[in-house]
Amino acid sequence: MAHLSVAVIGAGPRGLSVCERLTALAPEYKHPVTIHVIDPYAPGPGRVWDTEQSPELLMNTTISEQTIFPDDSCDFSPTNTGPSMREWYLATDGTDDPDTTFCSRTLYGHYLADAFTRVHENAPQNVTIQVHRAQALRIADPGSPVEVSQIVRLSDDTSVTVDAVVLCVGHIPSRLTDERIQLERYAADNDLNYCPPSLPAETPVDRVPAGETVIFRGFGLNYFDLQALFTHGRGGTFVPREPSPDRPGKCEPWELEYVPSGREPVLAPSSRRGIPYRCKPVTPNHPMKPYPLRFFTEDNVTKLSSGKLLHFDDQLWPLILTDLRYAWYAALYRSQPELFLRDPAPLKEALTESVARHLARRSGAETQGRATGRETHEAPALHEVLDSVVPREHQLDLQALLRPLNEEQFANREQLTAWIDSFLEQELRDAYAGPELAPSKAIFAVLWTARGFLKELVADGRISPTSFATEVRGWFESFVSGICDGPPPQRFAELLALSRAGLVAYVGPQVKIDTSDHEPAFIASTPVVDGDIVARNLIDAASPTNHIRLADDNLITSMLDRGQLTVATITSDEGTLLPTSGPLVERDSLRTVDSRGRVHPHRYVMSIQLSSLQLGLAIAANPNTNARTLRDAHSIARHIYGLADQ
């Protein structure tokens, strides 16, 4: 093949990684190459990281935690084709500490834009990059699926004929559920304001009048972006809190006061848990080095597998749980040794013994099928030792850590507000203390590292598909998110200041959103306190579901309708077919599989749509980690060029 043409559909970070690898490897291919970059948004930032959005919108990772370019940690070459975001930021005269500064979305967008420019300008002579600022609507296969050529139809009434296609469409809109359609109709019929799920930067926040209450369904990162738009974005300011007669002495660095502009609404966030995900730690040694796991290790996992597929609940979770316990009590002892009833050495021995017994009895050779959710009790003395070392009220309780409001009841909303404010304040103390001294942030460190290792096990096909779908995806993924995927601590400090300024009305846990039969209004209620919150404004602050079968996207929908894509399924232990969130993809090559089970030889998937095979796909590539995203892009580029595996 003398001249090769490739369509990269989606020009955000994943599409950019594919372009970077295609240009980096092009000298080995030697023949002319044309790369068609297709996206209605600017190449590099794409839609999500648009450089024109408000600079107040933050990522929940620091400047030092992003890269597009492979580095020396990667197990392929060439590497070091461009800077990490940290290197880029310092080279552009950035003045904030990149290790502790949480990155704005616009700043990351500028890094991505510069990275695309770098890739474009440094492309070898045999590479031509053509940018199409249009949406890909459908892909036509002129002949049989084994033929090379594919025609990509675009929204500007043009088309490109290419030899290979890489789908990098990222976060895609989802069709509204029936309930959300009813909310939309109710709002339209009653002159209310309902905003369905959307990117915060694209949410019509100007429709919410000053002084009115706005209910948010969702208390995650989207909520905090919207909180910024309703405060910073409306002229309000946060200033360091000054000592007062009732609070003498030096104020903590996170203590803020809010100076309102008078244009703010009252914010009423809600969720099933009633609290936001726990905030990220930010300490002088941030970004943290990976936590040294003691029990969830490659050696122990290999002992358990014996060449067989692993089951998460029965085999891997007990190892992670032991690492969590070890980290919790180590941090507790470092920060508050006076809480311990005696020397903790016997507890360390009991934890180690419990894993030794687990490895002996839960090996792949002994485990037949799956025994769901068995906790490690192989060391009978573990809980007795624990009770003799640490009082019950200071022992690790994962359920209370994730859902601390579950067992609470409040006489009124003032008590609920005081409880959540206290929770936020403790979280801020822990965030600044870090994993060394704060047990809750030690849990963060373990889970962050454990998720990274588990991500590799999943991507390498070492986890049972049923276990991945029903256990890892069924509960562990959301559990980790609740501990690890919260906002920067700055957002908690701002929420606390807003609450003290009387501009927040917490809804509470187990939220129920209804419409009123008596007056045009939305109603938010919780079982933990009497009294509903009534408002004329409701914003769905939820993230896209990213289930391709629910996609509201012309390209993905057309490919499903034509049978070019099919939803991946797994078979449960009961023999039931369970659909996953992503398309069926060949694991080794990441090529698409059609509805008849045929692997397309020249069509690839890269990005969040790999969710049937991989974990943690929304997390950007981190420097010095041999990042899976970069490896996948490299593998796809080599496959497209027909180069031997490296």
Percent of the chain with pLDDT over 70: 94
Least confident among 5-9, 223-227, 384-388 = 384-388
Percent of the chain with pLDDT over 90: 81
Check pLDDT > 90 for residue 439.
yes
Give the model's pLDDT for residue 369.
39
Check pLDDT > 90 for residue 583.
yes
Check pLDDT > 70 for residue 372.
no
Check pLDDT > 80 for residue 289.
no
Question: Could you give phi then psi for residue 357, rounded to 5 degrees?
Answer: -70, -35
How does pLDDT run across 10-42, given as a tens digit for each residue? Answer: 999 999 999 999 999 999 998 999 999 999 999
Give the model's pLDDT for residue 366.
42
Say how far apart CA 130 and CA 136 lie, in whole Å: 14
How does pLDDT run across 328-343, given as a tens digit for each residue? Answer: 999 999 999 999 999 9
Q: In the predicted model, what is the mean pLDDT of the chain?
A: 92
Give the model's pLDDT for residue 499.
98
Check pLDDT > 90 for residue 572.
no
Give the model's pLDDT for residue 371.
37
Q: Where are the beta strands (DSSP E) in 266-381?
A: 266-270
Instruction: Using pLDDT thresholds of 50, 70 and 90, give the confidence band for residue 171.
Output: confident
Give the model's pLDDT for residue 391.
96
Check pLDDT > 50 for residue 367.
no
Say how far apart CA 37 and CA 113 lie, in whole Å: 13
Contact 279, 428 (CB under 8 A): yes
Residue with tokens 């995650």: 220
Helix (H, G, I), strand (E, B) or coil at 215: strand
Distances (CA, A) of 640 to 125, 216, 301, 429: 18, 45, 34, 50
Buried b (16+ CB within 10 A) or exposed e, 67-95: bbbbbeebebeebebbbbbbbbbeeeeee
Mean pLDDT computed over 251-261: 92
Mean pLDDT computed over 427-447: 95
Check pLDDT > 60 for residue 324.
yes
Give the model's pLDDT for residue 286.
61
Mean pLDDT computed over 195-214: 96
Give the model's pLDDT for residue 490.
96
Handedness of CA 553, 556, 558, 560 (dihedral sign): negative
Check pLDDT > 60 for residue 145.
no
Give the model's pLDDT for residue 607.
83
Mean pLDDT computed over 550-556: 93
290 vs 219, higher pLDDT = 219
Instruction: Using pLDDT thresholds of 50, 70 and 90, give the confidence band for residue 373.
Output: very low
